[in-house]
Chains A and B, each alone.
Chain A
Amino acid sequence: MTMNRRTVLQGAAAASAIIAAPGLVRAQAPAIKIGILQPVTGALAQDGEYGRLGAEIALNEINAAGGIKSMGGARLQMVFGDARSNPEGGTSEVERMQSEGVAAIVGGFASPIVLASSQAASRYDIPYICDVGVSDQIVSRGLKNTFRFGPGFGVVTRTALENLSKLNDAAGKPAKTVVIVHEDGLFGAGMAKLLNDRLPAAGFEILETIAHPTPSRDMSNVALRIRALNPDLVIPSSYYAEFVLLSRTMQQQRIRPKGVYAILNGAASNFRFVKEFPDAANLVMDCNHWADPRKPKTAQVKALAEQGGRFWLYNTPLNYSCVRLLADAIERAGSADRGKITEALAASTFADHIMPYGPTKFENGQNTGAAPVNTQVQNGDIKVIFPDAFADAKPVFPAV
């Protein structure tokens, strides 16, 4: 055998390949595909983007920490799907995720998208974790694959009403009259009906219930009506743009009720609103999903989320926590098998999330510990005012 340049190079290449082989094997531990479903185009695009951000932060963190250890450090790989802000979009993305062989799906955001896509996923027994959608129908259908980490509509409204009474009692009952402003879709209309049933029993007089469509381009009439009625309290249930419009109009018209107490509002606990319109947002209260401010991890995730001038919305910590919940289930299942992941999820006691919930416990797919918190915008920051155990500020009420 003659030694020439070529054979030397071949030998060197072969030798280095053998030396590098263990590293290659480690790097090639099969990736586990995770479907992240969010509406990033259409009416819900803002929420979808922030949901995806939370999922990305969690996936990066898990992979950087060595992936799924029980599976030889398998990495989690995101298969992203744009739900197009409608159920058809969500369903067709579930089909695509199925063809790509995802182990589980996280997300959906809006209730109609979650209802349709979790059902599509159930045909393939793909575990589905709903991030936000609050419709109580999501977990009442008996679908074994569907889990909701956050609270549902019933829990949120009950908590909101209890805390409203507490707040009012603590301040010496300054609020007696209420005007309800709501969007006429699923959550706004449902909320208004519930409030009309329950508020009188809690000692509040409802002066008027004002509905508006989404989208609305002008809120002057609503604001003028509020001025004429002069209520102590305004309870708005609207999406982002409409609530921002309403509070700016109220600010311009100098309409100052004793309090603005929002429930599941699209803007009242949204840093974009607080940063862009600090005066209009100041002292607005909301009962909503929110990250636990006491957990050190929350600050880390928040810092990552705010890179590049983005805002801190509840979608990000919720999706971050949902993906971590899923990773924990895969870790315990020790397999990417869908049935095993579903079982592991159902038995989950995951506590390392950044929501104010305590250890996870699913009952018929609903996390029983999930609860909303009350927030208030105070001097350009969003503070938690209820429950006392998580609060990082005292409520400012009445505001005038």
Chain B
Amino acid sequence: MTQQPYLPILAVVAGLALLPLGLSSNTVLNFLSFAMIITLAAQGWNILGGYGGQFSFGHAVFFGTGAYGMALLQVRFGVNPWLALPVAMGLGAVVGFAIGYLSFRARLRGSYFALVTLAFAEVFRISANAWGFTGGAAGVLVPLRLDPANMQFADKRIGFWLALAFVAAVLALTLAITRSRFGAQLVAVRENEEAARALGVDALAVKLKAITLSGAITAAAGCLYTQKFLYLDATLAYGPWISVEALLAPIIGGVGTVFGPLVGAVVLLGLGEVTKTVFANLMGGSVPGVDLVVFGVLLIICVAYAPRGVLGLVQGWFRRKASA
């Protein structure tokens, strides 16, 4: 295990990559693709929030910047999506750096930092809603042209594999960070910023690096969202829903762990999908929203009995088994 730390990632990714080959159902594939996009957004959050301890309530700001960047570069400037993707991720990184610089230099921490990120997301949402360049409230529509050169795939499996490739890359990146000097400094800042500073860690630089990286990764999720749905408006891009998903997935899965966001996103969305299907079959959709109630109750149970996330729960089981 210590010899091959990347082996579990390889195994999980290979397992996920093989899934579509055994599946004929596009419903499941659609679910998996969406879960990968949410995973990616959550992985971005996890680097800043999970490892760095800076809880952001406004990761929509990065998601939306990536999504709008991707859409507008294509629609307004005719840029090829494969080129637009890194540019849009770069925009996410720039926004991350800017927000980080403003708030970390002002020494905003904890709930204050959370509130500032929330406010930034709202400012971006309202601006995108009002500005003609972003299409205002009418949003942007990316023309449907199914062509791999255009990053739109007739075969849905390729879209899934593309998203999975990003998730895999970030899994590897996250693991590399945990094993690096930067990762250790990040955790030190999370645990006790004053102590870390006393030991010579440049807390501001560490946090800035984290939020910039976090912004770029979550922006990539936004890019993939744009290519999947080909339509954006301000509420979809900068709305609170994605901030909540990006935050909830790591918390459910396991904050500050490599696999936490992936496990959390799959469990969270999977639970929603399963309750929806079960209740659709049970009641034929006669009582709308019952599945959401059940979903909420399951979520409460999940958080109450697994305070360290699903991964923490599983690790706990194994530890008890080993000691028994």
Contacts and interface: CB of A to CB of B under 8 A. Distances in A.
Chains A and B belong together in one complex: yes
Interface stretch (B10-18, B58-66, B132-140, B312-320): B132-140
A135 B138 contact: yes
Contacts of B276: 82
A99 B27 contact: yes
Interface string A185-203: 1111110000000000000
B143 to A, nearest CB: 7
B31 A184 contact: no
Interface string A329-343: 000000000000000
Interface in B223-237: 229-231, 233, 235-236
A116 interface: yes
> Which applies to chain A's interface (DSSP): helix, strand, loop or mixed?
helix
B292 interface: yes
Contacts of A91: 30, 229
B129 interface: yes
Nearest to A193: B136
Contact of A40 (B130, B233, B285): B285
Interface in A31-54: 40-41, 45, 48-49
B289 interface: yes
Contacts of B273: 92
Interface in B118-171: 126, 129-130, 136-139, 141, 143-144, 146, 154
Contacts of A40: 285, 288-289
B290 to A, nearest CB: 9
B2 interface: no
A40 B289 CA distance: 8
Chain B: interface residue count, which band? Answer: 20 to 34
A315 interface: no
A142 to B, nearest CB: 8
A98 interface: yes
Given A88-B34, A99-B26, A189 B136 contact: yes
Contact of A82 (B25, B230, B285): B285
Contacts of A119: 144, 229-231
Given A88-B34, A88-B229, A92-B30, A185 B288 contact: no
Interface of A: 40-41, 45, 48-49, 80, 82, 86-88, 91-92, 95-96, 98-99, 112, 115-116, 119, 122-123, 135, 137, 141, 143, 184-190
Interface of B: 25-27, 29-31, 34, 126, 129-130, 136-139, 141, 143-144, 146, 154, 229-231, 233, 235-236, 241, 273, 276, 280, 284-285, 288-289, 292
Given A87-B231, A92-B27, A189-B129, 5 more contacts: A92-B273, A112-B233, A112-B236, A123-B154, A186-B137
